[in-house]
Structure 1
Amino acid sequence: MLMAKLLDEKVEIATELGADRDYIAVIQAEEISRQMMVGTEGVFFLVLVLVGAWIIYRALVINERLKFAQQNFLMGVTHELKTPLASMKIYLDTLKSEKIPNEKKLEIIPRLKNDVDRLEQLVENILEAGRFEKSGYKVHKELFDIVQLINYSADTLKDHSLKQELVITKHGLPPELLFYGDRYALKRAIESILENSLKYSDKDRIEVDLTFEHDDKNISLTIADNGIGLEKKDTSMIFERFYRVGQVINQSKPGTGLGLFLAKEIIKAHGGDISAQSDGLGCGVQFTIQLKVMKHNENNIVS
C-alpha cells in the first residue's frame, strides 16, 4: 500500500508539471523497478537472517547435546569405577579372613574375576574411543572361523550371567565358516551387543536369539533379546559416542555409552553395517550385523 501511494504521488506531481504520457510511463516503470529491487533485497535479507538464526540454533543444540553426553560419560565412568572397586575390596577382605570356609572363598573368585574383567573392558573402551577419534580404526585382518568366535562370545556371556538365568538359542550357525577380518575387534563388537542384552533386562530369565545367515557375498548375524526395549528415537542414537538412554543419574544400569559406539565403528571398518530395531519399551531389541564375505585365494584375499 505504501509503495503504491508513493508511485501515485510521483505520477501526480509529474502530471501537474505538465509532463507528457511517455515521461510519466518512464517514471512509473522506474519506480516499479526500484520497488521490486527493494522488495527482493528485503526478502533476501530476511532469508539470510533466518538461515543465520537456524545455524546459531543448531550450534547451540549440538553444544548442549555434547555437554549432556560429556556429563553422561563422566557420571557413567565414575559409577563404573566405583562399583567394581567397592565389591573387589569386599571380596579381598573376605578372602583374607580366616573365619570364612574355603568353599565360600572359591565361590568369590569368579565374581572377583568378573569385576577385574569389567574394569579392564572399561579402560580398553576409553582407549579405543580415543584412537577412533584420532585416526579411525585400523583393522588387523586374518583368516579365522567366525562361527567359533560367535559361539565363544555367547559362552563368555553365560559366564558373566551370575544373577539371572540366561538362555541363548542359536539358529542357522554352520559347523564352520572362514572369514577374513579382525578377529579380536569383531569379538569385542559381538560381545558388546550380547552384554547389552544382559545389562538391559529386568527379567529373571533372559532370552537371547542368535540368527546366522550367509551366502557367497554376505553374512548376517541377528541378536534379539527380551529386554526392556527402546523407544523409536533411540534406535539410531544408541550408536553415538557416550549416548545412553535416559538420564544417567536415574539409571541403575552400568555403562559409559561407548560399547555400541565401538561396535559400530568396528563393523564399519570391515565394510559392514549395524542397526537396531525395537517395537517399543518392554518389547526387547533386535540388533543386526551385516558383513561382506571375503574370499580367500592362495596368495591374497579378494572381496
Structure 2
Amino acid sequence: MPHWLHKLRSSRARVWLAFGLVVVFLLAQVAWWLIFQRNTIQQNIEYAETAWLQEAALVQQLWAATAPENRQALLSELRQAFPHLEVEDDRVYVNPERLKAYRTEQMRHLRMFAYEGPFFLLVMLLGLYIIGRSLKSEQELKRRQQNFLMAASHEFRTPISTLRLLAQTLQMRELSREKQLAYLTHMSHEIDRLEDLSERLLATSRLAQGLGQIKPERHDLNQAVSRCLARQQNTLVARGVTLHLEPAPTPLPVDLDPEAFSLVLSNLLDNAVKYSPGPQKPVWVRLRREGSQAVLEVEDRGVGLSRGELQQIFEPFYRVGDEQTRSTRGLGLGLYLVKSITELMGGRVWAEALPQGSRFVLSLPLLEAQGLAPERSLA
C-alpha cells in the first residue's frame, strides 16, 4: 500500500475515533443532565410537601394558642405568609389545589428539560454530521487529487517514452520508407494524445479559475455532430469503434461554441470507448427533438455504471472503478469538462445506467423554441 494512502487511512481512522468519542460524551452528558434534573425536581416536590406539612403543624399549634378574638387578625397574616395553607374551623391543612399546581409546575419544568436535552443533542449531532461530511468530502477530494497526479504522470510518461523510443530508433537505424512513415504516423498519434491531455488540463484550469468563456453561435446540432465525427473517424476506427449515427430528421438550431462542443463530444466518445473492453466497440450517437430541447445521446455497450456513480462521475478527478486495479487510462476530468462546458452553453447533461453499458444524454435549448433571431453571438 502506498505510504500516502496508509497515512490518509490512519488520519481518517483517528478523525472518526475522535468523532465517536465526542458523540458518546454528548449522549452521556445529556442523559446525565436529564437524570439529574429529574432527581432534582422530584426532591423539590418531596421537600415542598414535607415543608408545607411541617408549616401546617406549626400554624395549627399557633392557631390553637391564639385567643378567639385575635384569630381574625392572625388569619389575615397567615394567608399572606402561607398562601398554600387553609384554616377551616380549628383545623389547619395544606391546600390540595395549591399542592397539585406546584407539582404540575415542577413537572412542566421537567418536560421542558426533557425536550431541550434531545433538541440540544440533535443540534450538536447535526453539526458534527455536517463537519464529518465536509471532512469526508475533503479527504475524498485529496484522494482523487493523488490519484489524478499518478494518472497524469502515467498518461504523460507513456507517450513521451514512446516518442523517445521511436525517435531513437529513427536516429540509430536505417529504415525503409514504409517503416519511417509508420513510425512518423505513430509519433503523430502520440503527439495528438499529448495535445489532447494538455487541452483538458488547460480547460479544467480555466474553469477552476472562473475563466471558462465560450462564444456560442447558431448552429444546426446535426451538422455540428457530423463535423466532429468526421474529424475523429479515423481515430475511432483505429480504436475498434463501430459508430452508428442517427441524426434527427429535421434541423436542430442551437447556440454552441464549435470548439467547446467538439471537446464535449470528444470526451463523451472517449469515455464510451475506454469503458468498452471488447475488441468490437459499438457506439450509438443519436439526435432528436424533444419539446423545446435538442437532445444528443451517446450510448455504449461497455462495463456500465452503478446507480451510486451516476452523479459522482461528473465530479473532478473521479474515475470509475477501483484505483488499485484500474486498467483504463484517463485523468478523471473528461466528464467534468462535459458537464461544465454544457452548462456554460445553457444546457445540461446526465447519465443513465443500462442493463449493458451506459448512455449519456446532453440537452440544449432550441433557438426556435425561444423565439430568437436567426443569428446571434455572445461575448
Give me the TM-score of the superposition, normalised by structure 1: 0.89
Asked if 1:11 is matched to 2:86, the reply is no
Structure 1 counterpart of 2:212:
137
Structure 1 counterpart of 2:151:
76
Q: 1:125 to 1:177 in 2, by over 3 A?
A: same
Q: 1:141 to 1:301 in 2, by over 3 A?
A: closer
Aligned with 2:367 (options 280, 294, 300) = 294
Separation in 1 of the partners of 2:220 and 2:230?
Answer: 16
Shift of 1:9: 4.6
Structure 1 counterpart of 2:235:
160
Aligned residues: 300
Aligned with 1:203 (options 275, 278, 282) = 278
Shift of 1:97: 4.0
Question: Computing the radius of gyration over CA atoms, which structure comes out larger, 1 or 2?
Answer: 2
Structure 1 counterpart of 2:140:
65
Q: 1:278 to 1:152 in 2, by over 3 A?
A: same
Structure 2 counterpart of 1:232:
307
Asked if 1:105 is matched to 2:180, the reply is yes
Give me the TM-score of the superposition, normalised by structure 2: 0.72
Contact 1:75-1:249 within 8 A present in 2 as well: no
Q: Which letter maps to 1:297?
A: A
Shift of 1:215: 6.1
1:213-267 deviation per Cα after TM superposition (whole angstroms, max 9, x unaligned): 0267321111111112122211221111111012334222111111110111111
Q: 1:191 to 1:204 in 2, by over 3 A?
A: same
Contact 1:144-1:178 within 8 A present in 2 as well: yes
Q: 1:187 to 1:23 in 2, by over 3 A?
A: same
Higher helix share: 2
Shift of 1:90: 1.6
Q: Extract unaligned runs of 5+ from structure 2.
A: 1-37, 57-84, 86-93
SS of structure 2 residue aligned to 1:289: strand
The farther-off stretch of 90-99 and 227-236 is 90-99
Shift of 1:271: 1.4
- Aligned Cα root-mean-square deviation (Å): 2.5
SS of structure 2 residue aligned to 1:250: coil
Q: 1:59 to 1:89 in 2, by over 3 A?
A: same
Asked if 1:272 is matched to 2:310, the reply is no
Q: Which letter maps to 1:120?
A: E
Highest RCO, 1 vs 2 (Cα 8 Å, sep ≥ 6):
1
Q: 1:165 to 1:37 in 2, by over 3 A?
A: closer
Structure 2 counterpart of 1:126:
201
Q: 1:242-253, aligned counterparts within 5 Å?
A: 242-253=317-328
Q: 1:235 to 1:48 in 2, by over 3 A?
A: closer
Contact 2:218-2:374 within 8 A present in 1 as well: no
Structure 1 counterpart of 2:66:
none
Separation in 1 of the partners of 2:131 and 2:373?
Answer: 54
Separation in 1 of the partners of 2:195 and 2:184?
Answer: 16
Contact 1:158-1:166 within 8 A present in 2 as well: no
Separation in 2 of the partners of 1:170 and 1:130?
Answer: 32
Structure 2 counterpart of 1:189:
264
Separation in 2 of the partners of 1:51 and 1:298?
Answer: 53
The farther-off stretch of 290-299 and 222-231 is 290-299
Shift of 1:48: 2.2
